[in-house]
Amino acid sequence: MDAVTPSGASPPPGRPLRRRAGSLAAAALVLAAAAGAALLALPRIEEGLRQAARERGEVTLALAAQAIDQLVRRFDPIPELIAARPHLRGALASPGSATQVAFVNEQLRLTARAVGASDVVLVGLDGTVVAAASYREGATPIGRDVLHRPHVHSAARGRAAFFHAAGPEGEAGSFHFSAPVLDGIDVIGVVSVRIDLREIEAGWQDLRGEIALADEGGIIFMSSRPEWTFRTLAPLSEARRAEIAAARQFFPGRLRPLDAKLSPLSDGMVRIEMGAGQPGGGTGTADAGGIFLVSSAPVALPGWHAIVLEPLGPIEAQARRVLLGWAAGALALVLLLVALAQRIARRREIERSARAERDRLERRVRERTAELGAANGRLQREIAERRDAEARLKRTQEHLVQAGKLAALGKMSAALSHEINQPLAAIKSYASNAGAFLDRGREDEARENVRRIARMTDRVARISTHLRNFARRPDDALVAVDLRRAVEQALELMEPELRARGVRVAVDAPAAPLHAKGGEVRLQQVLVNILSNAVAAMGEADDPRIEIGITEADGPGGPAVEVTVRDHGPGLDPETADQLFEPFFSRRSDKRGLGLGLSISYNIVEDFGGTLDARTHPGGGAEFRIRLRPAGEGEAAAPLAVPA
């Protein structure tokens, strides 16, 4: 803010103008310095970008050279392996045999397809192609004289050879790998494998830069730019041209030198300028021009080099863009400095306010931290209390399980006392009769009465054993439980009530035992609870029936075994189905029990790692399904309950 004179008049107009002029002069000075620094840095920028381009070119070069090396190493031993096949000697010995030649043609076709070759040919010593993998094609070389090819001539003299030449009509180059066919130590023919290089040229289109492959004579044999293919890096001698023409290796009209000028750069790199062509050079050179960075590396073939050219035009354009960016940044920096100079006072005021606010916030943080510490202490105490409550709840649940079993025992005791009294009365009667028979000397009848007494005693013992096992607190370990035996023992415990209600029970179980992971006594308790609910649900039905099924099943968690219990009562209404397994829920009209049986059963099955659910069966009545994990073959089975 400008100062005000004591009289309230405005300050002299020259002072703000001088201050603004000084700011502008400083800004101009900074901008000029930034522009000079950018101009001085331009060569370094270009050098760095060229270095990055060279590194990219070296990566591309390594990939291109590796592709050629792998191709040579892959196909170099193949002709010799093919030449070792015995059926080739038969075709060379009898070239007029249609059967022999047809068999060799098909074998060569299968071999070419297996190794990925364009063609495989068998040549006689006179240079005539006897058989070829391309015998089905219209342009098959069978019958041609190829002795003029250097690789065929060398192989006919017993030496493996390599040859490269233009493809059909000069469209794509090809490699030829040849080896002699031997009969003992005598050369009787030649095997030649041709590789079409169009796939490699197509793969080069995905790489950065321009790629070329030059042979030992400086002829560019492959290139990512078609107009460079079969051009030369230097003029060819007349003798070399004569050799190429005699071998029909290339098309002489295309073997023209590239208009290229090499010049070194300051950073050790080489710059090449490719002309757009030469006067009278013919067609195909209009796009050959450009300025590039050159990188080269030798490949597996003697004298051959892979060449990568990175265009310099984009590098120079990028350097200029970087320079302009620096200039724009310098201008922005100057403007920013001017703006900052005008806001220093305001910033200082903001900083003072910020310090005061920070102090206030720090006090609030300390107070809040103290409150959180107190709350954390209360939370820790609540967690400890919750853990104690959970432990008490677990103990209470265990007591409820045992109480449920004892309640079930109380329900069954009245019926079972009658069941036990009947054998006891019979035992007393049979004992009295046995004494009378002995007094009369009728020992056979007395002996029969004693046997009946023994059977009655076994029945009483069996009933008492089931009651004792059912009342005992079970172990926590899971064992293999025979489901059929668990169902049978549960039915024995329920037999008095079932008989008193006139309930018929049908059990459908496989012949072979099915074992599940669980506890036998606890599983019996689950079955007794379900059967007791089924009997109560049927009430005074005319034909009370219970159907029990034992099956294997597949579920979301894998293989399982199931026990289903279906009654023929009214089924489950939606409200009952939703609350069926909740503690203290009961719909029994007789108001017997605490409503804990199905809740306890649900927890027992869950402890086994299984599930317990219920539904209304489509045919009527309620159906409970116990799904358990199957026991493995090596797991111990639950011990049989034997009377003490």
DSSP per-residue codes, 34-73: HHHHHHHHHHHHHHHHHHHHHHHHHHHHHHHHHHHHHHHH
Query: Which pLDDT belongs to residue 510?
Result: 92
Mean pLDDT on 432-452: 85
Pairing label, strands 545-555, 173-183: unpaired
DSSP category for residue 579: H
Q: Is the pLDDT of residue 267 over 80?
A: no
**Distance, CA of 54 to CA of 58 (rounded, Å):** 6
- The torsion angles phi and psi of 274, rounded to 5 degrees, stand at -95, 125
Query: Which pLDDT belongs to residue 536?
Result: 87
**Distance, CA of 51 to CA of 56 (rounded, Å):** 9
**Distance, CA of 228 to CA of 285 (rounded, Å):** 8
Residue type, 304: W
Mean pLDDT on 423-445: 81
Q: Is the pLDDT of residue 433 over 60?
A: yes
- The torsion angles phi and psi of 186, rounded to 5 degrees, stand at -95, 140
pLDDT digits (tens, 9 = 90+) for 464-505: 665 655 555 555 568 899 999 999 988 887 887 888 888 999
pLDDT digits (tens, 9 = 90+) for 19-54: 555 555 666 666 666 666 655 655 666 666 666 666
Helices (H), 157-297: 198-204, 238-247
Query: Which pLDDT belongs to residue 83?
Result: 87
Task: Pick the closest to residue 27 from 327, 336, 326, 322 (CA basis).
Answer: 336
Helices (H), 211-312: 238-247
Query: Which pLDDT belongs to residue 206?
Result: 64
pLDDT digits (tens, 9 = 90+) for 80-137: 888 888 888 888 888 888 888 889 889 999 998 988 888 899 998 888 898 998 888 8
Q: Can you read off the two tokens belonging to residue 466?
A: 């089931």
Mean pLDDT on 178-202: 84
The contacts of residue 459 (CB under 8 Å, 6+ apart) are 423
Task: Pick the closest to residue 487 from 546, 570, 568, 428 (CA basis).
Answer: 546
CB atoms within 10 A of CB 586: 17
Query: Which pLDDT belongs to residue 473?
Result: 54
- The torsion angles phi and psi of 586, rounded to 5 degrees, stand at -150, 140
**Distance, CA of 104 to CA of 91 (rounded, Å):** 7
Q: Is the dihedral of CA 499, 503, 504, 507 positive or negative?
A: negative
Residue type, 574: P
pLDDT digits (tens, 9 = 90+) for 49-79: 666 666 666 676 677 677 777 777 888 888 9
pTM over 0.85: no
Rounded to the nearest 5 degrees, what angle is found at the Cα of 212, between the Cα atoms of 208 and 215?
155
Bigger pLDDT: 55 or 448?
448
If DSSP codes are grouped into helix, strand and coil, which group holds residue 296? strand
pLDDT class of 625 with cuts at 50, 70, 90: very high
Task: Pick the closest to residue 480 from 643, 639, 641 (CA basis).
Answer: 639
**Distance, CA of 395 to CA of 154 (rounded, Å):** 96
Q: Annotate 331-343 with b (16+ C-beta within 10 A) or e (fewer).
A: eeebeeebeeeee
Q: What separation in angstroms does the CA of 351 have from each of 49, 337, 339, 340, 355?
A: 44, 19, 17, 14, 6
**Distance, CA of 99 to CA of 84 (rounded, Å):** 20
Beta strand segments in 78-139, E? 119-124, 129-132
Helix or strand (DSSP H, E) at 255: none
Pairing label, strands 545-555, 504-508: parallel
Query: Which pLDDT belongs to residue 281?
Result: 37
Query: Which pLDDT belongs to residue 284?
Result: 38
Straight-line distance from the first to the last Cα atom of the chain, in angstroms, rounded to the nearest whole number: 108
If DSSP codes are grouped into helix, strand and coil, which group holds residue 151? helix
Q: Can you read off the two tokens belonging to residue 251?
A: 């098309």
Rounded to the nearest integer, the mean pLDDT of the chain is: 75
Q: 């960016």: which residue's tokens?
A: 325
Query: Which pLDDT belongs to residue 180?
Result: 92
pLDDT digits (tens, 9 = 90+) for 518-530: 888 788 888 988 9
**Distance, CA of 222 to CA of 215 (rounded, Å):** 9
Q: Decide: 112 and 119 in contact? Cβ < 8 Å.
A: yes
